[in-house]
Chains A and B, each alone.
Chain A
Amino acid sequence: MAQRPPATPAESDLLRIDDQLSPDERLVRDTVRAYTAERVMPSIADWFEAGILPRELVPELGKLGLLGMHLTGYGCAGMGPVAYGVACRELEAADSGVRSMVSVQGSLAMYPIWRYGSDAQKEEWLPRMAAGEAVGCFGLTEPDHGSDPASMKTHAEPNGTGWVLSGSKMWITNGTIADIAVVWARTPDGIRGFLVPRGARGFTARAIHKKMSLRASVTAELHFDSVKLPADAMLPGVSGLKGPLSCLTEARFGIIWGVTGAGRSCLEAAIAYSRTREQFGQPIGGFQLTQSKLAWMAADLQRAQLLALHIGRLKEAGTLRPEQVSLAKMANVRTAIDLARQARTILGANGITLEYPVIRHANNLESVLTYEGTEEIHALAVGQALTGISAYR
């Protein structure tokens, strides 16, 4: 509790958008801000440079209730979508890697078990995952199949009463630390989800190194070499691509909010720097060009925050549509990248060091731009919704 941040990030919230949050949502905001200030911010630059995310953060996040916080039962907090969004925002204000860990655990690994799993699967995995005792990952993307998951090669063949799983998955967040992988594979009756525990014979996970983005995040490739699975490893509740795509819609919702945190961090760093950095005998925050940059950054950020809040309230009302998620994911990630680049110009050379958060956010956001649906694919989803014509399938 020693390094508590201010209760309200008022400086960049000129429109007081946070006043629209409920008391519970504000309490979630303050709790996550206080936690990241104490546990993440002092070390994040070092973790980023070393390319690690300490595993011991996971049970701490579980204790707070962040893992699967928008799910009900099985030890999950059962909070509303806006509270989930606010939590993602505050996590990503610290680092996109930490938010990614939580997104993958809650929305991509726990959500499919919670929504499509059997009672036994839920009982076995969800309480431990909510507590952060077990980590999950989500295997959809393959080395040769990213935007076009329908062409996936990974397949599961019936074998007596069970299955044999073969193939590989790529760019898998949490892959090497996961206790359970939710793997999507082709079967004789369409694409199905399988729960593959760590240590299953023939299942290996290898860390991907030499990343210049999301360095404080575990990324892996998963290989399945004729992995024998029992019949009850399959998620009974869904078949076809709508299974994994529904999970991605959940996770993208978190991104819409999360990137506004990264953008806010960049704007606040730029404001603070411009007040103290002096050139030509005065703080650069007093120059018109700098003020113009800051003003537009604030305007862009607040628009993105309003968009996130609107999407959150739509989800709360149960009317949120995938193309609305696409529009907001596409728009807010682009805004956050623009904010990071503009902040970088205000910080000058300091903008490229890990002493300040800006270059870290800028690099992270390059991953966020393309993961969970590239900007182009989301544009096509929006284009189809606008014209009624599909340009890609």
Chain B
Amino acid sequence: MNIVVCVKQVPDTWAERTLRPADSCLDRASVDGVINELDEYAIEEGLLQAEAHDGEVTILSMGPQKAAESIRKALSMGADKAVHLVDDGLAGSDALGTSLALSTVLARIGFDLVILGAEATDARMGVLPAMLAERLRVPQLSLARKVEIDGNTVTVHRLTEYGYDQVVASLPAVVSVVEKINEPRYPSFKGIMAAKKKPVETLSLADAGIDPAQVGLGAAATEVLSFAKRPPRQAGTIVKDEGDGGSKAAEFLAAQKFI
């Protein structure tokens, strides 16, 4: 089985993240890049499914040159090979542009199953899995906390506000995962050494056959009009318990419409 895991490099979630005033794009250069956390779960799920179904895991990442480090980590965890889509023309792509670029590469390299995190910690839009599935004309199974594959059928389990869903589709398909699904492994040191010898194919827009006019900041269908720093946290309200602490707490919760 041919499993492709889409991996995004995002700014370290611990670092202070800023937008560049010039083009309102995320400043990626000044902070360290890490694998988007949910994508680590996607990698783990890809590896588990490949181990169970005699499959192969390919990492697909679109990002600047330094995303190669995140690709290396994914390979160190155990993925077999990688494709890195890197081109200055991709900078500033919004979700539409990104999904066009990734789906073009996915169609080119072929897949039985595409796995990716349900959202990325930088933009937090969470629309890419749906856009990929739509562009590729395959089923989307979203927010999986468990994935089962049986022959040509994939079943995902997901928890919703109203209960448990089991969603079944035929392969090929796109599956997005949440953090409940597994516990990502650490890259072992042997894995780090082995990753050096694993193939990484680097593609430019031209290599991948993507029209530069449809991706990048210029082609973005969305635009950041303004942004502001998060306001400083307000001091909380302190309620002294004079025998009525419970009802005061209940009043507060009712005022906030929590109860």
Contacts and interface: CB of A to CB of B under 8 A. Distances in A.
Given A34-B186, A79-B193, A27 B12 contact: no
Contacts of B40: 1
A24 interface: yes
A366 B213 CA distance: 65
B15 interface: yes
B34 A24 contact: no
A35 B69 CA distance: 19
A6 interface: yes
Given A27-B73, A27-B76, A77-B190, A8 B32 contact: yes
A30 B69 CA distance: 12
B189 A65 contact: yes
B164 interface: no
Interface in B1-56: 12, 14-15, 32, 34, 40
A6 B190 contact: no
- How big is the B interface, by class? 20 to 34
Given A6-B12, A7-B14, A77-B193, A64 B73 contact: no
A27 B193 contact: no
Contacts of A7: 12, 14, 32, 34
A248 interface: no
A77 B73 CA distance: 16
A31 interface: yes
Nearest to B41: A1
Contacts of B157: none
A23 interface: yes
Contact of B69 (A23, A31, A63, A79): A23
A66 B32 CA distance: 25
A243 interface: no
A194 B12 CA distance: 49
Interface string A217-231: 000000000000000
Contact of B186 (A31, A77, A78): A31
B193 A26 contact: no
Interface string A1-44: 10001111010000000000001101110110011000000000
A63 B72 contact: no
Contacts of A10: 15, 32
A65 B188 contact: yes
B187 A6 contact: no
A23 B195 CA distance: 11
A24 B34 CA distance: 14
A27 B188 contact: no
Contacts of B183: 1
A209 B186 CA distance: 35
A166 to B, nearest CB: 39
B192 A77 contact: yes
B235 to A, nearest CB: 16
A79 B72 contact: no
Interface string A73-85: 0000111000100
B135 interface: no
A247 interface: no
A179 B38 CA distance: 41
Contacts of B192: 24, 27-28, 31, 65, 77, 79
Interface in B184-201: 184, 186-193, 196
B32 A27 contact: no
A69 B184 CA distance: 22
B187 A31 contact: yes
A63 B188 CA distance: 7
Contacts of A31: 186-187, 189, 192
A28 B187 CA distance: 8
A247 B32 CA distance: 37
Contacts of A66: 189
A8 B12 contact: yes
A27 B34 contact: no
Contact of A69 (B32, B68, B73, B189): B189
Contact of B196 (A24, A28, A83): A24
Given A24-B196, A77-B189, 8 more contacts: A1-B40, A7-B12, A7-B14, A27-B69, A27-B187, A64-B189, A65-B191, A65-B192
19 contacts: A1-B183, A5-B14, A7-B14, A7-B32, A8-B15, A27-B69, A28-B189, A30-B73, A31-B189, A34-B186, A64-B188, A65-B189, A66-B189, A77-B188, A77-B189, A77-B190, A77-B193, A78-B193, A79-B193
Across the A-B interface, give the 3 residue pairs with the lowest CB-CB distance, nearest first: A65-B189, A77-B189, A6-B14
Interface of B: 12, 14-15, 32, 34, 40, 68-69, 72-73, 76, 183-184, 186-193, 196
Interface of A: 1, 5-8, 10, 23-24, 26-28, 30-31, 34-35, 63-66, 69, 77-79, 83
